[in-house]
Structure 1
């Protein structure tokens, strides 16, 4: 398999140290913690999607939150496979195709989250700056079309990362699910190192600009304009949804910024430099922190929206009530069946007893009749 020279010389442990590291308590704790976090994230986002999708009145805000939660659910659903990768000694054993799909989910969530947060910020900006236009044209159907366009754009942005993802065999026997920038080489002879550097730097800055910098600039511009307009009007209305968006944006930046910083450092650091070794060790941790954003968002939805929290409690209560009602009905049915069977047995026993008692009496009467004769 042809791959970039940098991928062949990645600073990774030898087979003996790798297997020994898998047995340490720290590695076991990390794997268990990662599995626990992934499970919590899946349950949280399933709950948010279920409640917002089926128990909350459809509105523009609920459509935004539903799409954010769907993206987070898709990301957290892929976390158990990363936990499996860690548990098997940081080696990928699920094949090349699933390697590309798993990585694509990670990047898809990154792009969708950034695009959606930027769109939500522009939406709030238009509501304040152009209230008449928002009243006439801002409806659920428009927001749904915007969300569909965002998902399509995110998929298009994810395609290059799918194409250049590959499984690479390492000298220590492990299999790495990482970039292979020499796939689909252009026609004609090209320098392998130059091709790898160009594609690596291009994808790194593409992620940085599209998934972090541009959404962040849109968010800052939007809320700056909103605050300026409200300040001129002299009003300080407590926008609950604005507080939610600000919390989600802060979480998004804190979780994703380290990953993008390390990706750019990896793309610019020369081969063999000490910084490159540090970055290659820090990238898996920063990727896990990026996944953590999908686990934090449902918590922010609940604590920033008391109505959503009450609906979640109501939904869980309704589910438990239905389960208990079904269990009580099943118990009552079983009890009635048992009582019916007991009553039937009693009737049978009574009939048998009557037959038994009747038979001796008849025999005695016949014997006495014979004696009298």
Structure 2
């Protein structure tokens, strides 16, 4: 995960003559004791327990939610609406992030000892970052598409909107699959007494690589998509309030999209940038730097909450989605074969139709 890029930024007290250290163990022993003179006494064991609980809750809830979203939208895959196309792709990306969590959870509990070999060291990080970027890109495309669909009267858009959406999804996956190579190419399995999987660019250009990766992550994952998401969601909310004054609830939900994205990602990118710049570009207070390093993993973990909140905001709060969920579930409800032929099935079908009808036609 992204925390791997920050560990060696503690080297601002390390001599520049890396050649004096002839093996990895000596170097990492030095890095681990860089801040030993700081007065800082938070319990690492408590941190590991908190991380394990957070990972476990996010994994279980996010896995169930995103599987439901994919399943329900797959049942209605003939519907080519923007919601069905972008939402199912975003859910697949969020599910990919969730599937990487068991390894991060075990790694945290093992004090970052990596037991799964060199290939998984690189592939797991690649898989996580590719799906993380894809989720953000689909969220950005959805925000733009929603506004364009509401406001555009272009005949070209009406005729070609489905092609544009398919192309946008394809480009999002290609871009998300390409970006992680910048970091993953330097992920290495290093033996420091115990094997660890860590970002390890060449010593002589390490600072440049770490800064490049950090700035690329922040720019591509936050600085570019967030303004787009914020601007187009605000424009959408203003359009709805102007054309449908009774849509206050929908406007609040749209603003929630912006707030959730901001709260999920801003703390992470601020801390990542500060830790990357610390030493060679800025000098942080020693205790403050240690504080940031200690809580970095927890802040990183909280970014995954967007994979849990996205299905709620974009699916479960929608009456249309709940209606589709009920319809999909009804197909698998066993009929009462013990009743007289036709009677039980008729009753069951009628009851189910009533439920679905209520969902599709809510009272005003």
The DSSP-based 3-state class of the residue aligned with 1:167 is strand
Q: Offset of 1:177 from its aligned partner?
A: 2.2
1:212 corresponds in structure 2 to 222
**Paired residue for 1:252, among 244, 251, 261?**
261
| Contact 1:111–1:211 (CA under 8 A) maintained in structure 2 | yes
* Residue 38 (str. 1) matches residue 51 (str. 2): no
1:222 corresponds in structure 2 to 232
Q: Offset of 1:229 from its aligned partner?
A: 5.3
Pick the structure with greater CA Rg: 1
Q: Once structures 1 and 2 are overlaid, which stretch shifts more, 92-101 or 120-129?
A: 120-129
Q: Offset of 1:30 from its aligned partner?
A: 4.7
2:106 corresponds in structure 1 to 84
> What is the root-mean-square deviation in Å for CA atoms of aligned residues?
3.3
2:323 corresponds in structure 1 to 310
91 and 37 in structure 1: CA distance in 2 versus 1, 3 angstrom threshold: same
* Residue 176 (str. 1) matches residue 185 (str. 2): no
**Paired residue for 1:267, among 246, 265, 276?**
276
Q: Offset of 1:29 from its aligned partner?
A: 6.3
1:1-373 alignment, distance < 5 Å: 6=11, 8=28, 9-11=30-32, 27-28=48-49, 30-55=51-76, 57-133=79-155, 135-170=157-192, 173-182=193-202, 192-193=203-204, 195-226=205-236, 235-236=244-245, 238=247, 246-270=255-279, 274=286, 275-321=288-334
Q: Offset of 1:112 from its aligned partner?
A: 1.6
Number of aligned residue pairs: 302
Provide Cα deviations, 1:159-209, integer angstroms capped at 9, x if missing partner. Answer: 112112222334xx3333221122xxxxxxxxx35x111111111111111
The DSSP-based 3-state class of the residue aligned with 2:201 is coil
The DSSP-based 3-state class of the residue aligned with 2:180 is helix
Distance in 2 of aligned mates of 1:127 and 1:317: 32
Provide Cα deviations, 1:4-51, integer angstroms capped at 9, x if missing partner. Answer: 68483444799xxxxxx89x6874565255324312221221111111
| Contact 1:75–1:109 (CA under 8 A) maintained in structure 2 | yes
Q: Higher helix fraction: Structure 1 or Structure 2?
A: 1
| Contact 2:240–2:251 (CA under 8 A) maintained in structure 1 | no
Distance in 2 of aligned mates of 1:229 and 1:301: 19
* TM-score (ref. length: structure 1): 0.70
314 and 29 in structure 1: CA distance in 2 versus 1, 3 angstrom threshold: farther
| Contact 2:65–2:311 (CA under 8 A) maintained in structure 1 | yes
Q: Which runs of 5+ in 2 are unaligned?
A: 1-6, 12-26, 37-42, 338-364
Provide Cα deviations, 1:278-306, integer angstroms capped at 9, x if missing partner. Answer: 33222211221112221222222344212
| Contact 2:8–2:31 (CA under 8 A) maintained in structure 1 | no
Distance in 2 of aligned mates of 1:124 and 1:55: 20
174 and 243 in structure 1: CA distance in 2 versus 1, 3 angstrom threshold: farther
Distance in 2 of aligned mates of 1:42 and 1:212: 24
| Contact 1:240–1:304 (CA under 8 A) maintained in structure 2 | no
Provide Cα deviations, 1:224-253, integer angstroms capped at 9, x if missing partner. Answer: 44456567x664363988765543443222
Q: Which runs of 5+ in 1 are unaligned?
A: 15-20, 183-191, 326-373
The DSSP-based 3-state class of the residue aligned with 1:122 is helix
109 and 253 in structure 1: CA distance in 2 versus 1, 3 angstrom threshold: farther
